[in-house]
Structure 1
Amino acid sequence: MKDRRKVRAGLAAVAALCVVAAAQGTSLADDAAGARAYEPRGSRIHGADGAAGAPSLTAGRTYVDSLGPGEKRYYGVTLDAKSAAYVSVVAAPRPGAGVASYRDGVKVTLESPDGGVCGTAAPKIETSGVAYPLADYASRQLQSGPASCHQAGRYGVTVERQTGSQDPERWPVELRLMVEPPVKGGATGAAPEGSSGTPSPEPPDGTARPRSGGRGFTDAPTLGTGVWQDEITPGETHFYRVPLDWGQRLSAVAELPADGKDQSTRLLDRALAVHAYNPARGLAKRGTAAAQDGESPRTELTTAPVAYGNRYANTGSAVRAMSFSGGYFLAVTLNPPQVAPHLNSSVPVVLRVRIAGAARSGPTYDKDPAEAGFGLTAADRRAAKQHAVAADDDPMGVPADDSEKAVLRVVGYAGIGTGTALVLGLGAWTLIARRRASAERHGPPPAW
């Protein structure tokens, strides 16, 4: 009898949510209501309108500026003739901003003292209506590029935002210069290794442990191999840091829970976006939707193995980005257009992370790479070896009881639109969990 009451209560919640979803039209801003924005951190800086008077960026420090549509800002960096250098930009449109695919983006360029282009990157919004942080870097390599980029001196950095943006708001911009120490004996002559197309290893199984993602690169928690669960509001991007040693690669799967009978994949196959970034905040890999009909919607990615020689690869940026050991990053975005019309509250997202491959020794640097933001600490290596399994008393790792499973099954068969069925089922699951927790703390809740 008690279980039947729980099922009826869950179905009442589903019905209420159906009414709300059917009765309310949602704008892009409404889709991301309550979403946490990217949190830029660093020293305030104001880029110049031209090369003259451009402020300097210091290696190892993070700076915060802003850009309006069509604006271009100038900065300067001083480099030696021995070290690789990476200037990254993170542009963060507000969640729910009216952005358009490949019409909204930023461009970062690193130029030599005499104006030669050493490196450039132009990350862009990939899905219309989905505003998320854009990140990548422009680099200076000593064994490639124009000869003028191999000399010591003051280099120019420009960051510009595309013209014609549909979003009139200024975007916060985070800038960072990282200088990789030279290796002893000069160039290693190492060849590129692996491929970004390497088959994905099996994702780990087990009960998920709770882990809240960061609001940016600077506060991303460290994850090792394991199964993790987070609560993400439509429009939010959560960041996680994963330590990779030489020879290792990163595999990750982000998924929404769904009843096994629910045919929801076609509507929600792009509800989750996943991006991997290297320690210098360079884009290493984009995730791809991988679920078949009837499976839980999921997005997965696998990187190439970390190897020093990858920086010389001519097979694409996905391999070149895997050029140094250190803390790599996963950014998981819950896309509002696919989710928020049905549910505007937070949604449980499971992240399956595997660090694949045996760690091995790498090149010997002239200086400690960890001081420059590269390489791994002893704590990183311990985290990388950890395969986490949730404890029995972990409230976010406890499987749904039979009544909750029944609610999800009924929602899957109820004839509601398939995408709505999945996310409203999640809403029912969340409501039941909250009321059960409330009952345990304060006694039975009032009647529905």
Structure 2
Amino acid sequence: MDDRSKVRTGLAAVAALCAVATAPGPAGQAWAAPADGAAEARPYRTEGTLIHGTDDAEGAPLLKPGLGYVDSIAAGQRRYYSVRLDATSGAYVSAVAAPRPGAGVVSYQDRVKVTLASPDGTTCGSSDRKIEANGVAYPIADYVARQVASGSVASCRKAGRYVVTVERGAGSQDPAGWPLELRLMVEPPVKGGDTGQAPEGSWRTTPPELPKGKARSRQGGTGFNDARPLSTGVWADQIRPGETHFYRVPVDWGQRLDATAELPAGKTGEAAGVNDALGLRVFNPARGLTKKSSFEAYEGQEAQAEADTVPVAYGNRSARADYSVRTMSFAGWYYLAVTVNPDVTRFFKGSVPLTVRVRISGTAKAGPTYDGDAVGAGFGLTDADRRGAAQGPATGDDAVAAADDTDKGRLRMVGYVSYAVGALLLLGLGGWTLAARRRTPAAAAPAAGPGRHRRYGPPPAW
């Protein structure tokens, strides 16, 4: 290969490197985005070990406590997993199915059912959750529980291998597979046994007034794994249409959680209102659905979705009431999930201002005495948890930039690489020029004389 070919080859490689460095996505691939109002929405962030559920119970892979697992599930598909439980601990297996923002979901047809069966095949728990807002794709999450308290099914209190079944509805209009996140949490037994049911009067109370005042900025996460901590107060966020933002709130024994999500007035005119514009859901520390609000409509005026819970009590799990009471049965991080319909782009350009109001009310009490590390298993709070929720990693004006951290980091990296590539290119050209000036072989060089001049620098073909 001659010198000119070497130079051209080198520059082609540098140009390719520049192209990769500045391409908008991993490994130079462009990011796919839905062609609708949710084009800029961030999807749910899964976290965990890759796992493949089986088509039958016999060879179902094992889920271990405290670890996250990630799979996918197609419409009409049924996946099997297994867990090994002792005879004394409570167990909660959660499943999060996350259609991409903007997916063509249909309310009450797009659904996910989770079932837990004992070693002899007895159903110990089941959950069937559906998309409840037509055309609004958001993460569906809930758990199935195995309780060992008196009154539960005897075969479900035995030690052994239990089977978890996750089934996605066959009537889905979304052809894509949904990311599926699974987690097993094991709650240690309580010394002395069941502590009894909380008195009914302890939770039939009027919701407290929510806080007012200046909002502090806090960017919501995309899922349970990156949910941002909140405490009592007013919080400001920016949410893209089609996104679901997650926050986590520390709620102790004897305390209750009340929250609202609010959209401001948008541009008015002839734009039609949006049904199912704003939704708010509450999940407990084991990712069980605790409370949900009906999706609120939006017509250009202020809109608000609200949710409130009962106080946390161990005995709530056996209360003769609906799931919103039974799921408030342990202390720890509770989660708020706020979803905005992609169609609100009719009223807003770009991100939508979102206000979240939170109040944790009630005096924290001592909980039951566990025979094991309940806090380490995810059931309970530390002083650091409470301080972190109040302070947070970003409060005040410095949090305004938090929403763009990923994009800015990517742009900074592109800038650093571009500078480095440019420097290498200049050094390469300088080195080539210097070498060319020094290279004057007598046999190849034309004789000096009238009409003959040595040529330095790049070849003429450049």
Q: Whole-Å Cα distance in 1 between the matches of residues 325 and 270 of structure 2? A: 34
Q: Whole-Å Cα distance in 2 between the matches of residues 135 and 195 of structure 1? A: 28
Partner of 2:353: 348
Which amino acid in 2 is paired with 1:309? Answer: G
Partner of 2:169: 162
Q: Secondary structure at the match of 2:320?
A: coil
Write out aligned runs for 1:79-158 (5 A).
79-143=85-149, 144-158=151-165
Which amino acid in 1 is paired with 2:310? Answer: A
1:354-395 Cα offsets, whole Å, 9 max, x none, are: 11111111101011111111100111233566799976x668
Contact 1:245–1:306, Cα closer than 8 Å, also in 2: yes
Partner of 2:238: 231
Partner of 1:53: 59
Contact 1:28–1:336, Cα closer than 8 Å, also in 2: no
How far 1:187 sits from its partner (Å)? 1.8
TM-score normalised by L of structure 1: 0.76
Match of 1:373 among 359, 378, 390: 378
Contact 1:196–1:318, Cα closer than 8 Å, also in 2: no
Q: Secondary structure at the match of 2:64?
A: coil
Q: Whole-Å Cα distance in 2 between the matches of residues 298 and 265 of structure 1? A: 19
Change (3 A) 1:383 1:357: farther
Which amino acid in 2 is paired with 1:49? Answer: D
Contact 2:111–2:169, Cα closer than 8 Å, also in 1: yes
Q: Unpaired runs of 5+ in structure 2?
A: 1-32, 402-462
Match of 1:271 among 265, 268, 277: 277
How far 1:293 sits from its partner (Å)? 9.3
Q: Whole-Å Cα distance in 2 between the matches of residues 107 and 267 of structure 1? A: 32
Change (3 A) 1:145 1:395: closer
Partner of 2:258: 251
Q: Whole-Å Cα distance in 1 between the matches of residues 60 and 173 of structure 2? A: 28
Which amino acid in 2 is paired with 1:127? Answer: A
Match of 1:357 among 358, 362, 379: 362
Check if 1:301 corresponds to 2:307.
Answer: yes
Partner of 2:220: 213
How far 1:267 sits from its partner (Å)? 3.2
Which amino acid in 1 is paired with 2:346? Answer: P
Change (3 A) 1:200 1:28: farther
How far 1:209 sits from its partner (Å)? 1.0
Q: Whole-Å Cα distance in 2 between the matches of residues 160 and 346 of structure 1? A: 34
How far 1:191 sits from its partner (Å)? 3.2
Change (3 A) 1:157 1:142: same
Partner of 1:178: 185
Contact 2:127–2:143, Cα closer than 8 Å, also in 1: yes
Which amino acid in 2 is paired with 1:377? Answer: T
Partner of 1:10: none
Contact 2:279–2:296, Cα closer than 8 Å, also in 1: no
How far 1:140 sits from its partner (Å)? 0.5
Write out aligned runs for 1:272-351 (5 A).
272-288=278-294, 296-337=302-343, 339-343=344-348, 345-351=350-356
How far 1:147 sits from its partner (Å)? 1.1
Size of the aligned set, in residue pairs, is: 368
Contact 1:29–1:95, Cα closer than 8 Å, also in 2: no
How far 1:29 sits from its partner (Å)? 4.1
Q: Whole-Å Cα distance in 1 between the matches of residues 349 and 381 of structure 2? A: 39
Q: Whole-Å Cα distance in 1 between the matches of residues 246 and 65 of structure 2? A: 23
Q: Secondary structure at the match of 1:164?
A: coil
Q: Percent sequence identity over matched residues?
A: 60
Contact 1:207–1:389, Cα closer than 8 Å, also in 2: no
Q: CA RMSD in A?
A: 2.9
Which amino acid in 1 is paired with 2:91? Answer: A
Write out aligned runs for 1:20-99 (5 A).
29-99=35-105
Contact 1:31–1:344, Cα closer than 8 Å, also in 2: no
TM-score normalised by L of structure 2: 0.74
Q: Secondary structure at the match of 1:310?
A: helix
Contact 2:36–2:342, Cα closer than 8 Å, also in 1: no
Check if 1:201 corresponds to 2:208.
Answer: yes
Which amino acid in 1 is paired with 2:225? Answer: T
Change (3 A) 1:291 1:173: closer
Which amino acid in 2 is paired with 1:364? Answer: T
- RCO greater where, 1 or 2, for CA within 8 Å and sep 6 or more? 1
Which amino acid in 2 is paired with 1:171? Answer: W
